[in-house]
Every structure is written in structure tokens, then in C-alpha cells.
Chains A and B, each alone.
Chain A
């Protein structure tokens, strides 16, 4: 059962433009959401998170938006840079038990 879904396997944007990565979830018990970035041959690294009590969290060029009623979150990267090219995973947790991940979206930022 895929509780966290990233329906776009890939995304390509021009340097300097906005990258928007989307994530949907089905479990209404999820109360904490995270985005991870993964380069080849490395483990995922934490990027940004948001609690279910908020609808927006911003950290530099990265902003995560949460729409609880739609069970949808998105990651915005502005402006996008070639070094942002990686696979991005959306994750969700419900309490202190486990963490579920989406399939990932491969972002390519073209110079």
C-alpha cells in the first residue's frame, strides 16, 4: 500500500526558474512531513520539513507547502540551480513509529 505518492518520476527545469515537486499521501494520521535529497551513491539527506500544524515552511531557496484537506504537499525551489539536480523524496510519519517515503522525483536543472 503506497501511502506516500510522488506521481512525477522526473522534472526538468531551466536554471533560475522555479522547481515544484509534488507529493500526495493517503494516511490522515500523518502529522509530520519531510523532503530528502539524494545524489547517486549517497544516502538521502534531509532538506526541509513541516509539521501538520503549519501550512508553509521556508528555508532559503526551499519552501514546503502543506494542504491537509487535499493531503498534498509540495516543495518549491527558487531559483533552481544545477547543483539541485538530484532525486527528491517526500516522506511522512505518524507519531514515533516509522517513516514512509514516496518513489522520488528526479530533478534536472539545466544551465
Chain B
């Protein structure tokens, strides 16, 4: 299992500013995933963050808007840049334990409101 500490848990931000979300895992993991859940929508994968290389972004998400850092095997940050109200969402980081019993573990989530 893995325990993920994510912060902040929530924030209200002004349009045009940026917010950095942090995730700390209690064990070393190769891949970390960042998701977004907009109201009434699915958990949408933003990007996969590997330590020592650039993050891999899904279609519709770009590095300039969502820069990701992965300085070591237990930590990652996601920045939501130049925010607009459309970025209001819940952002979640996740790690997956692959194997016979594959399971994903999530942080508590960051509820972002852009005004």
C-alpha cells in the first residue's frame, strides 16, 4: 500500500495566477499520475510523471499550462498556470501498485476554485 499526502486540500485563486499542488508518497514509486475531476466528469488523466524525465501529457493537456516536477521518487508537484474559472476542479495525484493485485492509491485531492 501507499500513503499519499497532498496539499493544499483546497484553495480559492484569482484569475491569471498560478497554484502549485504537492504530493508526497511514503514509499519510492517510479510513476505518479495527476488527474483532474471537473464537476460531473470522470477522473481525467492529465499526465504521468516519471522521476528523471519529462512528464508525459495526455491529449488536451500541455506542459505550459500544467508544468510538473518530479525531483525524486517520493515527491511531485503539479502547477496550474494562468488560471481561469474553467480550471476550477478537483486535482488528484495517484500512484499505482502493479502486480497480481493492481491497485491505485490517491491523495486527498485539491479542490481548486478560480474566481
Contacts and interface: CB of A to CB of B under 8 A. Distances in A.
Interface size class of B (residues with CB under 8 A): 20 to 34
A49 B102 contact: yes
A70 to B, nearest CB: 20
A43 B45 contact: no
A109 to B, nearest CB: 21
B33 A101 contact: no
Interface stretch (A14-22, A61-69, A92-100): A92-100
Interface size class of A (residues with CB under 8 A): 20 to 34
B40 A93 contact: no
Contact of B6 (A1, A9, A43, A101): A43
Contacts of A44: 43, 92, 104, 106
Interface in B6-54: 6, 9, 33, 35, 40-45, 48
Interface of B: 4, 6, 9, 33, 35, 40-45, 48, 59, 92, 94, 96, 98, 101-109, 111
